[in-house]
Amino acid sequence: MPSLGTIMALRGKVALVTGGAQGIGRAVVQELAHNHAQVAVVDLNASCGEQCKSELDSEFGADRSIFLQCDVSDADALTEAFQKTVDQFGHLDIVINNAGIINEKDWEKSIQVNLTSVIKGTYLGLEHMSKEYGKAGGSIINVASMAAFMHCPHHPVYTATKHGVVGFSRAMADASLLGDYGVRINVLCPAFVDTPLLRTVEHEDCLGKFFKYKDDIKKSMDHYGLLKPSLIAEGMMRLITDDSQHGAAMKITRSEGIHFHEYEPLSP
Ligand SMILES: NC(=O)C1=CN([C@@H]2O[C@H](COP(=O)(O)OP(=O)(O)OC[C@H]3O[C@@H](n4cnc5c(N)ncnc54)[C@H](O)[C@@H]3O)[C@@H](O)[C@H]2O)C=CC1
Ligand SMILES: CCCCCC(=O)CC\C=C/C=C/C=C/[C@@H](O)[C@@H](O)CCCC(=O)O
């Protein structure tokens, strides 16, 4: 049951979620709509996206969401998706750069989707929300991973992209303060979550030369356990609605639940 505070915080707000048609993004889209936000679901997968839109229409009405089929690694397409969102709903308040893949074979693609697109999505979010562009402010949450705090031998490029997302997001949070953008920027780092992404590790096309370690990955999943996408959505709602959160790295694990990485203070 959504809290009155969350509904108050999100009613009239417009959110854009990349990778919103499945997995973690789908859970976040559901929670946003449930709390009376309007949502743009941006996803490469047209069939999943149309299914998601149909479900949202049935539960919340056709005016609560749009589905925009888009490859986030295509900068022009992503730019168009942001503009279509603002054209449809009039403004933008929340951006969740969530889309991500595991592909150690076509590792350049992993970097394009998991890091370059998150950078582009952050900059597009600022163009539509930052006071430096005459806008009213907002909130950006980039999705990294607990892989950003560990180094796993079976997906080194994926690990690199997630380290990059954390570093970029925290640096942009500092820039937002310095430049008085009025935009809070945070990063969310889940452990293993029970979504279709985890099933990609069964395919040699995704793990490439590291496919021989796939049993090791499964041991990690068994050891650490799988989280439900709904718990990640709960953490996302906290980052969206808690105005005190800026530059934070939220971790979500089976052992510690929703918590935050504690960074050493920078030496003066
Ligand atoms: N599942 C897990 O164990 C964890 C996932 N994450 C991260 O969470 C985010 C979401 O992952 P999941 O929901 O698990 O994955 P998922 O594969 O279940 O869903 C990802 C969605 O993104 C879409 N997508 C993929 N490439 C795209 C592209 N180029 N353009 C637009 N949409 C695209 C897919 O169509 C899919 O609907 C990713 O950034 C992932 O790295 C982080 C930690 C753990
Ligand atoms: C190839 C599979 C990758 C799937 C997508 C992911 O990003 C999975 C998440 C990657 C690693 C998860 C590690 C989980 C560790 C936690 O459970 C934690 O308890 C370990 C303590 C480290 C810490 O809290 O800093």
CA 234/CA 237 separation, integer angstroms: 5
Query: What is the rounded distance in angstroms from the CA atom of residue 232 to the CA atom of residue 179?
Result: 30
* Nearest ligand to the CA atom of 206: 2
Ligand 1: residue whose CA is nearest its atom 15: 197
Atom of ligand 1 nearest to the CA of 112: 29
Ligand 2: residue whose CA is nearest its atom 23 = 149
Residue 154: closest CA among 207, 102, 226, 100: 207
Distance (Å) from CA 99 to ligand 1 centroid: 5
Task: Give the number of whichever ligand sits closest to the CA of residue 255.
Answer: 2
- Residue whose entry in the numeric block shows the structure tokens 């933008």: 92
User: For 236-252, what is each residue's pLDDT tens digit?
Assistant: 999 999 999 999 999 99
Q: Quick one: residue 214, left, alpha or beta (phi over 0 = left, psi -120 to 50 = alpha)? A: alpha
Answer for the pair 201, 248: CB distance below 8 angstroms, yes or no. no
Q: pTM score > 0.95 for this model?
A: yes
Q: What atom of ligand 2 comes closest to residue 255's alpha carbon?
A: 19
How far apart are the C-alpha atoms of 40 and 139, rounded to whole Å?
A: 15
Q: Which atom of ligand 2 is nearest to the CA of 253?
A: 17
Question: Would you call 158 a catalytic residue per the annotation?
Answer: yes
Instruction: Write down the ipTM of this complex.
Output: 0.96
142-166 residue pLDDT tens: 999 999 998 888 999 999 999 999 9
Residue tagged active-site, from 123, 133, 158, 213: 158
| Number of neighbouring beta carbons within 10 Å of residue 212 | 10
pLDDT tens, the chain, 268 aa long: 556 666 667 999 999 999 999 999 999 999 999 999 999 999 999 999 999 999 999 999 999 999 999 999 999 999 999 999 999 999 999 999 999 999 999 999 999 999 999 999 999 999 999 999 999 999 999 999 999 998 888 999 999 999 999 999 999 999 999 999 999 999 999 999 999 999 988 889 999 999 999 899 999 999 999 999 999 999 999 999 999 999 999 999 999 999 999 998 878 7
